[in-house]
Amino acid sequence: MAEMNVKPMGGRRGRGMPLPKVNNPGRLFVRIMKELLSNYGVHLAVVIVCIVVSVFANVQGTLFTQKLIDTYIQPMIGQTNPDFSGLAAAITRVACFYGVGIAAAFTQNRLMINVNQGTLKHMRLRLFEKMESLPIKYFDTHSHGDIMSVYTNDIDTLRQMISQSIPQIFNSVITIVTVLISMIRLSMPLTMSTLVMVGVMMFVTGQLAKRSSKQFIRQQKALGSLNGYIEEMMTGQKVVKVFCHEQISLDEFRQKNEELYQSAYNANKFASILMPVNAQIGNVSYVICAVLGGILALNGFGGFTLGALASFLTFNKSFNMPISQVSQQSNSIIMALAGAERIFALLDEEPEKDDGYVTIVNAVQQPDGTLTETDERTGLWAWKHQHGDGRLEYKKLEGDVRFNHVDFGYTDDKIVLHDIVLYAKPGQKIAFVGSTGAGKTTITNLINRFYDVQDGKIRYDGININKIKKADLRKSLGIVLQETHLFSATVMDNIRYGRLDATDDEVIAAAKLANADGFIRRLPDGYNTFIKGDGANLSQGQRQLLAIARAAVADPPVLILDEATSSIDTHTEKLVQEGMDHLMKGRTTFVIAHRLSTVKNSNCIVVLENGRIVEKGTHEELLELKQRYYQLYTGSSASA
Amino acid sequence: MLKTLLAQVKEFTLVSLLTPVFMVLEVAFEMIIPRLMASIIDKGVSAGDMQHIYRVGAVMLLTAIGGLLCGIAGGVFGSKASAGFARNLRDAMFTNIQTFSFANIDRFSTAGLVTRLTTDVTNLQNAYMMALRMFVRSPATFIVAIIMSVSISPRLAMIYLVAIAFLVCVMVFLITHVTVYFRQVFEKYDALNESVQENVSAIRVVKAYVREDYENKIFSRASYNIYRMFLKAEGLTVFIAPVMQFTIYGCILALSWFGAHMIVAGELTTGNLMSMLAYCLNILTSLMFMAMIFVMVTMSIPSGKRVTDVINERSTLTNPENPVVEVKDGSIEFIDVDFSYREDSKEPVLQDINLSIRSGETIGIIGATGSSKSSLVSLISRLYDVSQGSVKVGGLDVREYDLDTLRKEVAVVLQKNVLFSGTILDNLRWGDPDATFDECRRACRLACADEFIEKMPEGYNTQISQGGTNVSGGQKQRLCIARALLRKPKILILDDSTSAVDTATDARIRKAFAEEIPDTTKLIIAQRISSVQNADRILVLNEGRVQAFGSHEELMESSDIYREIYEAQTGGNGDFDEAALNDGGLRWQK
């Protein structure tokens, strides 16, 4: 029966497409089934019962044709006063069968929606939660496009598999078995001839599929090459115009377009004759049965009647359909398994480890100088250190950060930071300077434990940061990244992201501190302006101001700032500078600096090169050295 | 829309027309079979005529083969027609895009154009194939089966009429409701995926502020809402299969009941009742298919619209009728120029620009981001047309020149520049396809690109990957300059083209320009004051107006903005010269 296939754009892959390679399809399939059974075991049991019932009802209906002709019509032909009450009763009985069949089909479909959507909801949520728990390393080593495609394409093929392929295969298998049994009971010779024709059909399908698969691979290649070309040319369209290169790029495009046309034509040719070929082989099978059955019925071999022939012919038609369905659905199952492999790979990723036990608490200073814990926000924080012997210790959160001979590499075999030694006393400003790839960002990634050191120690207020719970460690650090990321929410909520329980007034105060208040008020809806598409409607500078405000509302004792290199207009640039300066006041700050003014008033300037600290000191000290910092500093005014 | 799209069928009109013809023939052959079947039963089995069974059997076999041939022909023609249609659509779009002006390109985003050329065309290709083959096949099946039924027994065929009426009503109701629901669901679904995307790219922010649980909660809520909406939408589609079954079963039972009466009364034969049962399935499933095709074709309408937009877009720039094909010299003049990107915008991007630049002069252009520096220079090579006033090159309005001539003589190194996949030499020859190797080397030497190219293992034959990702920013900029130099233009415009080049190299490039191409007019847009300071004259732009225009010394006297920028960048302010380190740290090694 024709299933409604309501899908947005695109549509499913055509038949005969090359299939992806899947490792261990069996294990994956079992895992999906386990996933389904653990939550919807009862649902699925009922679904299977429903399928059996509806197939059975359908077969009963077909068998009724035999009775209709043999038992009711034939004997009554020629009777002067035929009695239709028997037929009426029989029809009523079949109607009941049908009724049950329809009810079963409905129940099955209805339940499958719950199973399908429920499983997907569950799957999506688990994917998301797992994703949120993964270490930064995962995001740095996997393309964002690949991660996204798990949520879109892979979930989508899984949806098709659960909602269509699995029930259809069940249905087909049960139909094949039931119909086969019924056919054998009606006539063995006719069954044999039907089976032979099914064999022919499968052979031809296999041959055509083999041929078309080769063509589809060619088509994929041509498509990839053309799409790549289109993407490159569209990106460079303005350059094409500037160099009057239109004709050349058009010629090259036409050549690739022609290749795609040829291969698409060849590939689809084979795929699209598959359907009529199968349909007509089915018709040939039907014809053979009709002739053979006619002969059998005429001679009355083995009690073969006209009614039996009528029923058998219907079966012959309905036998071919599920067989082609199974082969079709098995393809989409392989596609779905390839998707499921990626879904499970993400679900099986190791989440970020956290062995820390030192936490941050709000504290009150007692008259005797000791600290005690409190629930209220006092503006004073303490590290709560639970020692092995059960002893509790509170230590004031001050913002003292020290690196002791730290080594680090993103992979074990390649060390990118060597023997980093530096310290920042509470309230001090440390500036990192150096070329791209010198290791500036890497150092800041270690402080908030986006990555863990390989050797050496980082101490925060004297505590090894590995002992601090990651969440608490990060809460004590404010970060303003070079690239500002905003969320689809109001300006107010975007700033509040820094501290969820901040009141509107606190948010506005933070915005004022960050110099962001002015431009926010000029937005169409002020603080309630909705930001869309990562703040596409805001300028680079405005986005930075929001990021600074976000850090300001979090009010952390230690700050990590990554100054933006990109040029913004002088006015906003001034605002950003001032905002940053306000934010840094009274906090320990690590800043990846690009501006001389930021560096000049730092307590310590760290010059990095190839992962090593090559110079360290104040602006004046380093200038006197007349080495790298001196060259960097004078570089910008060299030709002045 | 349909007219524009169908105009692209072109040389595939014949196969496009043949496809449905063969589909109808295939259907006709298929629909005869149940009739022949009835004949076998009535005249063969019931009448005991063996010969008749053989004869009709042979005819049936021929019919099946005829159907097979027509089916294959339909499939082959359909594939050819749809693949060709897709090819023509892509060609029409790409060809038209080549005529686009910058304003046209801005209107469609790059990503938008790529989608239209790829996904949208594929959607249309599938829809076209579907339309050619199924759009005709299903109605044909439907009509032929009805004709056959009526010819057997008009009275029994009445049953179909009732069934069809019922099914159509239900389908129309379901389809209209379901599509509305699904459109809503998929909108929400896209929004959900966008929020995932947001989370992936902002993961550092999420982690830095320890907002994992908060994000989980938001996602969970959104995901639950989608779940509810999907249940609601799919809850309707669930009715389709049972309704269909109900109709078919109803027909079978009604046919059996009334048919039995008619056979007994001698008004119908057993064989004919059986063919009526066969037609019943044909009629109702073809109805179902028609509904499905309708839904699928409607879904390709947005794609059709997007493709039509590109095909019908007319370039905002046209070549003049009797174009001038020679540019006299490199002088530039702006006379009362106003410019805005969109006609309806109130604030022009450039206002009251009056400038006169002599051939061979070197002009620096400086100003804050958004002061319209790029807009100003883009008018010179007519990337955009002025809204008011006139831009003259070599004493003539740019709109009088042949576009190719003008752009050959006015070479622009764009701010957002790209290299293409191919060798370095291939890329350089964009500037001049006939350039000799020595000419390419000279251009690279002027642009200070020779030093790094010659260090590469394959030198000028080094492959550049797509988007030029395997060279550094500074190297890419120098290659782009060399490429522009190969045009041997009368006017050379550098739009912030040395921002990633260290200051020393930048200075060397400018020195080479002054010495080797003294007759070329050079316009240099820069952020760095050192890049423009030694120009003959410097243009200071502020909010789309000329704030000052003169030599460095004059501007230090007269222009507050210029002085401010100068002071901000010298004497211990401004940025580090990180480019010196980024570009391989060459200077350190000295």
What mean pLDDT comes out for the span A131-136?
Answer: 92
Q: Which residue in chain B is spatially nearest to A251 when comparing CA positions?
A: B95
Q: Which of B279, B312, B345 is the last residue of a domain?
A: B312
B577 falls in which pLDDT band (50, 70, 90)?
low
Q: Does the residue B279 lie in any domain?
A: yes
Give the one of A257, A281, A317 whose C-beta lies nearest to B87's C-beta: A257
B574 falls in which pLDDT band (50, 70, 90)?
low
Mutate to test the interface with B, among A168, A287, A570 (most CBs of B within 10 A): A287
Backbone angles phi, psi at B318, to 5 degrees: -130, 155
B589 falls in which pLDDT band (50, 70, 90)?
very low
Specify whether B76 is located in the same domain as B136: yes
Give the one of A11, A61, A276 whose C-beta lies nearest to B126's C-beta: A11
What pLDDT, on the 0 to 100 scale, is given for residue A638?
A: 36
Helix (H) or strand (E) holding A530: strand A530-531
For residue B199, give how far its alpha carbon lies from the nearest alpha carbon of chain A (Å): 8
Specify whether B490 is located in the same domain as B380: yes
Q: Does the residue B109 lie in any domain?
A: yes
- Which residues in A lie closer than 8 A to residue B260 (C-beta atoms)? 68, 72-73, 76, 84, 87
**Could you tell me which residue, B50 or B361, shows the higher pLDDT?**
B361
What pLDDT, on the 0 to 100 scale, is given for residue A7?
A: 34
pTM over 0.95: no
- Which residues in A lie closer than 8 A to residue B216 (C-beta atoms)? 125, 128-129, 132
Other CB atoms within 10 A of residue A627 CB: 13
For residue A562, give how far its alpha carbon lies from the nearest alpha carbon of chain B (Å): 13
Mutate to test the interface with A, among B117, B192, B315, B378 (most CBs of A within 10 A): B117
- Which residues in B lie closer than 8 A to residue A131 (C-beta atoms)? 196, 199-200
Residue given tokens 């096949």 in the structure block: B137
Report yes or no: A298 at the B interface, CB cutoff 8 Å. Answer: yes
What pLDDT, on the 0 to 100 scale, is given for residue A131?
A: 92
- Residue B562 belongs to domain with CATH number: 3.40.50.300
Q: What span, in angstroms and rounded, lies between the C-alpha atoms of B177 and B481?
A: 59
- 3-state SS of B193-258 is HHHHHHHHHCHHHHHHCCCHHHHHHHHHHHHHHHHHHHHHHHHHHCCHHHHHHHHHHHHHHHHHHH
Backbone angles phi, psi at A372, to 5 degrees: -130, 155
- Assembly ipTM: 0.83
- Cβ neighbours of residue B270 under 8 Å, at least 6 residues apart? A69, A73, A74, A306, A310, B41, B42, B46, B263
Over the stretch B133-160, which tens digit does the pLDDT of each residue have? 877 888 888 888 999 899 999 999 999 8
- Cβ neighbours of residue B97 under 8 Å, at least 6 residues apart? A234, A237, B105, B113, B310
Specify whether B12 is located in the same domain as B103: yes
Q: What is the token pair recorded at B503? A: 């200051």
Give the residue from A402, A397, A428, A447 showing the smallest Cα distance to A557: A397
Specify whether B269 is located in the same domain as B349: no
Q: Is the C-alpha dihedral spanning B162, B166, B168, B169 positive or negative?
A: positive
**Could you tell me which residue, B582 or B296, shows the higher pLDDT?**
B296
Contact (CB<8Å) B414/A265: no
What pLDDT, on the 0 to 100 scale, is given for residue A389?
A: 83
For residue A219, give how far its alpha carbon lies from the nearest alpha carbon of chain B (Å): 11
What mean pLDDT comes out for the span A132-160?
Answer: 87
Specify whether B551 is located in the same domain as B405: yes
What pLDDT, on the 0 to 100 scale, is given for residue A502?
A: 92
Q: What span, in angstroms and rounded, lies between the C-alpha atoms of B339 and B316?
A: 14
A318 falls in which pLDDT band (50, 70, 90)?
confident
Contact (CB<8Å) B249/A148: no
What average pLDDT is seen over chain B?
87
Contact (CB<8Å) A238/B416: yes
Specify whether B26 is located in the same domain as B72: yes
Specify whether B18 is located in the same domain as B86: yes
What pLDDT, on the 0 to 100 scale, is given for residue A8?
A: 34
What pLDDT, on the 0 to 100 scale, is given for residue A83?
A: 84
Specify whether B374 is located in the same domain as B242: no
A634 falls in which pLDDT band (50, 70, 90)?
low
* A vs B: CB pairs below 8 A: 469
Specify whether B42 is located in the same domain as B130: yes
Q: Which residue in chain B is spatially nearest to A248 when comparing CA positions?
A: B430
Q: Does the residue B317 lie in any domain?
A: no
A193 falls in which pLDDT band (50, 70, 90)?
very high
Specify whether B238 is located in the same domain as B376: no
Q: Does the residue B105 lie in any domain?
A: yes
Contact (CB<8Å) B223/A125: yes
pLDDT score of A580 more than 90: no
C-alpha distances out from residue A110 to A50, A70, A166, B172, B232, Å: 11, 38, 15, 21, 11
pLDDT score of B440 more than 90: yes
Q: Which of B312, B345, B367 is the last residue of a domain?
A: B312
Q: Does the residue B439 lie in any domain?
A: no
pLDDT score of B547 more than 60: yes
Contact (CB<8Å) B61/A287: yes
What mean pLDDT comes out for the span A430-446?
Answer: 84
Specify whether B260 is located in the same domain as B116: yes
A196 falls in which pLDDT band (50, 70, 90)?
very high
What pLDDT, on the 0 to 100 scale, is given for residue B580?
A: 56
What pLDDT, on the 0 to 100 scale, is given for residue B194?
A: 82
- Residue B308 belongs to domain with CATH number: 1.20.1560.10
Q: Does the residue B183 lie in any domain?
A: no
Residue B313: HSE in the Cβ half-sphere, 13 Å Cα cutoff: 26
Over the stretch B220-230, which tens digit does the pLDDT of each residue have? 998 998 899 88
What pLDDT, on the 0 to 100 scale, is given for residue A1?
A: 32
Give the one of B57, B203, B528 whose C-beta lies nearest to A139's C-beta: B203
**Could you tell me which residue, A536 or B48, shows the higher pLDDT?**
B48
pLDDT score of A540 more than 90: no
Backbone angles phi, psi at A316, to 5 degrees: -55, -40
Enclosing domain of residue B84: 7-178+233-312
Over the stretch A223-259, which tens digit does the pLDDT of each residue have? 888 988 998 888 888 888 888 888 889 999 999 999 9
What pLDDT, on the 0 to 100 scale, is given for residue A16?
A: 45
pLDDT score of B202 more than 90: no
What pLDDT, on the 0 to 100 scale, is given for residue B389?
A: 93
Contact (CB<8Å) B587/A594: no
Specify whether B72 is located in the same domain as B156: yes
**Chain A stretch 464-483, residues whose beta carbon is closer than 8 A to a beta carbon of chain B:** 470-471, 474-475, 477-479, 481
For residue A366, give how far its alpha carbon lies from the nearest alpha carbon of chain B (Å): 30
pLDDT score of A10 more than 70: no
What pLDDT, on the 0 to 100 scale, is given for residue B588?
A: 34
Contact (CB<8Å) A638/B577: yes
Q: Which residue in chain B is spatially nearest to A128 when comparing CA positions?
A: B216
A372 falls in which pLDDT band (50, 70, 90)?
confident
Report yes or no: A93 at the B interface, CB cutoff 8 Å. Answer: no
Report yes or no: A5 at the B interface, CB cutoff 8 Å. Answer: yes
- 3-state SS of B325-358 is CCCCCCCEEEEEEEECCCCCCCCCCEEEEEEEEC
**Chain B stretch 306-365, residues whose beta carbon is closer than 8 A to a beta carbon of chain A:** none
What mean pLDDT comes out for the span B93-100?
Answer: 91
Give the one of A61, A239, A268 whose C-beta lies nearest to B414's C-beta: A239
> How many domains does one find in chain B?
2
What mean pLDDT comes out for the span A586-603?
Answer: 83
What average pLDDT is seen over chain A?
85
Report yes or no: A95 at the B interface, CB cutoff 8 Å. Answer: yes
What mean pLDDT comes out for the span A168-182?
Answer: 90
Report yes or no: B469 at the A interface, CB cutoff 8 Å. Answer: no
Assign 3-state DSSP to chain B and report helix, strand, coil percentages, each to 5: 65, 10, 25
Q: Does the residue B120 lie in any domain?
A: yes
Torsion of CA A354, A359, A360, A363, to 10 degrees: 180
- Which residues in B lie closer than 8 A to residue A257 (C-beta atoms)? 87, 90-91, 94
Helix (H) or strand (E) holding B549: strand B545-550
Pairing of strands A489-490, A530-531: antiparallel
Give the one of A7, A244, A261 whose C-beta lies nearest to B408's C-beta: A244
What pLDDT, on the 0 to 100 scale, is given for residue A343?
A: 92
Over the stretch A50-71, which tens digit does the pLDDT of each residue have? 999 999 998 888 888 888 888 8
Give the residue from B529, B535, B525, B533 showing the smallest Cα distance to B568: B529
**Chain B stretch 50-69, residues whose beta carbon is closer than 8 A to a beta carbon of chain A:** 50, 53-54, 57, 60-61, 63-65, 67-68
What mean pLDDT comes out for the span A567-579?
Answer: 72
Q: What span, in angstroms and rounded, lies between the C-alpha atoms of B579 and B505?
A: 10
Report yes or no: B76 at the A interface, CB cutoff 8 Å. Answer: yes
**Chain A stretch 277-296, residues whose beta carbon is closer than 8 A to a beta carbon of chain B:** 277, 279-281, 283-284, 286-287, 290-291, 294-295
For residue A24, give how far its alpha carbon lies from the nearest alpha carbon of chain B (Å): 29
Other CB atoms within 10 A of residue A279 CB: 18
Give the one of B64, B75, B414 whose C-beta lies nearest to A238's C-beta: B414
Q: Which residue in chain A is spatially nearest to B31 when comparing CA positions?
A: A283
Give the one of B230, B253, B289 whose C-beta lies nearest to A95's C-beta: B253
Q: Which of B280, B312, B344 is the last residue of a domain?
A: B312
What pLDDT, on the 0 to 100 scale, is given for residue A271?
A: 79
β strands within A160-297, DSSP E? none
Mutate to test the interface with A, among B39, B205, B377, B524 (most CBs of A within 10 A): B205
**Could you tell me which residue, A623 or B379, shows the higher pLDDT?**
B379
What mean pLDDT comes out for the span B545-569?
Answer: 88
Q: Does the residue B425 lie in any domain?
A: no
